[in-house]
């Protein structure tokens, strides 16, 4: 699933937050600067094979698990996933 498609899907559920696209180069550049939290929405097996260092596993199970979402509600969330389609 392309990021644009994922954001469009996610956007229908996020009515209070603006959703913007961010380029992979920007994520790589700012990965360890604390500007955002990276969430991996891949299947668990894909997560186990490898993921972006520092990413949190969100998976398909949802974001209700403790420690997945940051305490600060203003933190930018960057989602990515590996698609097998």
In this structure, are residues 57 and 68 in contact, taking their beta carbons and an 8 Å threshold?
A: yes
Residue 23 lies in a domain: no
Please state the domain count of the chain: 1
Residue 21 lies in a domain: no
**pLDDT by residue for the chain (85 residues), tens digit each?**
455 666 666 665 555 566 778 888 888 898 888 889 999 988 888 889 999 888 988 876 666 677 788 888 888 889 888 765 5
Q: What is the pTM of this model?
A: 0.68
Question: Which range marks the domain in which residue 34 is found?
Answer: 1-14+28-64+74-85
- Per DSSP, what are the bridge partners of residue 14? none
The pLDDT value given to residue 81: 83
Residue 48 lies in a domain: yes
Residue 7 lies in a domain: yes
Task: For 24-56, give one letter per residue: b (16+ CB within 10 A) or e.
Answer: eeeeeeebeeeebbbbbbbeeebbeeebeeebb
């Amino acid at each position: 699933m392309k990021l644009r498609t994922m954001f469009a899907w996610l956007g229908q559920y996020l009515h209070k937050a603006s959703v913007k696209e961010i380029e992979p180069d920007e994520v790589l550049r700012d990965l360890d600067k604390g500007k955002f939290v990276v969430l991996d929405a891949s299947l668990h097996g894909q997560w186990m094979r490898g993921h972006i260092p520092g990413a949190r596993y969100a998976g398909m199970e949802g974001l209700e698990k403790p420690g997945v979402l940051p305490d600060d509600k203003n933190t930018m969330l960057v989602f990515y996933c590996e698609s097998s389609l």
